[in-house]
Amino acid sequence: MTSVSIRAAAQVLRPPEDGLPYLRHDRAGELTLEPGDVLLEDGRIAGFEAGDADLVVDAAGCAVVPGFVDCHTHLPFAGWRAQEYERKVTGVPYQEIARAGGGIASSARSLAESSDEDVLAQAETLARELLQHGTTAFEGKTGYGLSRAGEARAARLGRELAARVVQPMRLTGLFAHAVPPGTTADAWMDEAETLARECDVDALDIFVESVAFDNEHLARMGAIARDTGRALRAHVEQFAAHRSVPVALEWGARSVDHLSCLHPDDVAPLAASDCAAVLLPGAELLGGEHTPPARELADAGAIGALATDLNPGTSPVASMPVIIGLGVRRYGWSVREALLAATLNAAWVLGWSHELGSLESGKRADVLLLDGPAEHVPYRFGHNPVAVAFSAGEPVWVRPDQAWRLGHEKPLDPASAAAGRRRVP
């Protein structure tokens, strides 16, 4: 298929101007949601008029928005940890679960015991679930390898996953996630550095927490990232305030993620920087974490982003619409603020905002048709509003009850999904 005409939508989400690498949250109100048409040609957004096309889409009553960009997941991983979740909610402390062999160590065991094919099959299924919930680009991480060979394998599997899925996928080396048994955090950082230098990854990440790594290790990862030309990302201030944000900013981090316990003095410097605040309300809800000062961050002009944190421990959540609903409720964010955080600003985190994240002529045609107005996404909490997902101009997911909008009465030819697998520069 070479062209698609999406006609007479009730709302089309547009940025206030073209070419923005991100939009600070104090400007989210400038996003427009006006009625209109969208034309897709040769995998790109061609314009905002109704034109002749191979496929005509009836968008009456619908919102058309950019595909969601899930900028923080832990794909690929092996298995789940549902029993651990039950223990957690019934009052067993995390430390006790970890002592009993749970937590990251448990997922590391599952990964080690699973074949490459089993790991990739689970991750591919989840990538399909992401797509059906509107995620047209995502990030994955290493981090469950827990040994030099295990992490190198996780990086290789991450790239194999990227080659198999419809969505463009970035891979982050979370080589400093947990301290493997029998070593120390200091000693493991030497291994993490070797992995960072040798593995094919797009960005580097580290988990700063009393049970993992500290701010000195974060600074060291910052130096490695700078030296190897990778973006620095960091899991910080999740369970307690360690004042990691000033360190991350000093090292030019692309994002700081979690921030449930962000220190009030760190709000203004973070908001003034080009470093995104990636908030993960799924992990907050399911882990009973504190709520970050998200309203303050938005008002101060931070580059806010939302993501699922999809992982078997803290957030087995694949739905960006659910995350948007949680963000609006927990943070007191407007619909525009939450959609911005799930699209353009999330694309910025992945270094892809020149190609993805907003409806602009010339950008890759990763576009969602929602089954109602944008305001329904957080409001109808738990409902999946994605009627049609386009990847590079191809309808790669059509909800069966919405197929009439495309004139399709039967499921799409799977070959059209393959056509969406075009690389993003």
Which residues contact ligand NIG by CB under 6 A?
103-104, 107, 207, 235, 238, 283, 309, 311-314
Q: How far is the CB of 212 from ligand NIG (least distance, A)?
A: 7
CB proximity list for 233: less than 8 A, separation 6 or greater: 172, 203, 204, 205, 253, 254, 255, 256, 257, 278, 349
Alpha carbon distance 19, 137 (integer Å): 19
Alpha carbon distance 331, 328 (integer Å): 6
Q: How far is the CB of 9 from Fe ion (least distance, A)?
A: 34
Q: How far is the CB of 234 from Fe ion (least distance, A)?
A: 10
Among residues 309, 360, 366, 394, the one that binds Fe ion under rule CB under 5 A: 309
* Nearest partner of 303 among 332, 265, 329, 342, judged by Cα: 342
Q: Which stretch binds Fe ion (CB under 5 A): 176-184, 307-315, 365-373, 380-388?
A: 307-315
Distances (CA, A) of 234 to 22, 30, 85, 176, 208: 19, 30, 24, 10, 7
Q: Which stretch binds Fe ion (CB under 5 A): 119-127, 188-196, 303-311, 341-349?
A: 303-311
Q: Is 70 in the site for Fe ion (CB under 5 A)?
A: no
Task: Decide whether 63 or 318 has the Cβ nearer to ligand NIG.
Answer: 318
Task: Decide whether 309 or 371 has the Cβ nearer to Fe ion.
Answer: 309
Task: Decide whether 107 or 136 has the Cβ nearer to ligand NIG.
Answer: 107
- Burial of 170 from C-beta contacts in 10 A (0-12 / 13-18 / 19+): buried
Q: How many helices (H) and strands (E) does the chain have?
A: 16, 16
Which partner in Fe ion, ligand NIG, none is near 172 (CB below 5 to 8 A by kind)? none
Judge whether 33 and 336 are in contact, CB under 8 Å: yes
Alpha carbon distance 279, 248 (integer Å): 16
Q: How far is the CB of 94 from ligand NIG (least distance, A)?
A: 9
Alpha carbon distance 396, 55 (integer Å): 13
Which partner in Fe ion, ligand NIG, none is near 107 (CB below 5 to 8 A by kind)? ligand NIG
Alpha carbon distance 32, 14 (integer Å): 5
Q: How far is the CB of 360 from ligand NIG (least distance, A)?
A: 31
Task: Decide whether 349 or 387 has the Cβ nearer to ligand NIG.
Answer: 349
Judge whether 104 and 154 are in contact, CB under 8 Å: no
Task: Decide whether 165 or 259 has the Cβ nearer to ligand NIG.
Answer: 259
Residue nearest to Fe ion (CB): 309
Q: How far is the CB of 229 from ligand NIG (least distance, A)?
A: 25
Task: Decide whether 312 or 357 has the Cβ nearer to ligand NIG.
Answer: 312
Task: Decide whether 180 or 312 has the Cβ nearer to Fe ion.
Answer: 312
Binding site for Fe ion (CB under 5 A): 309
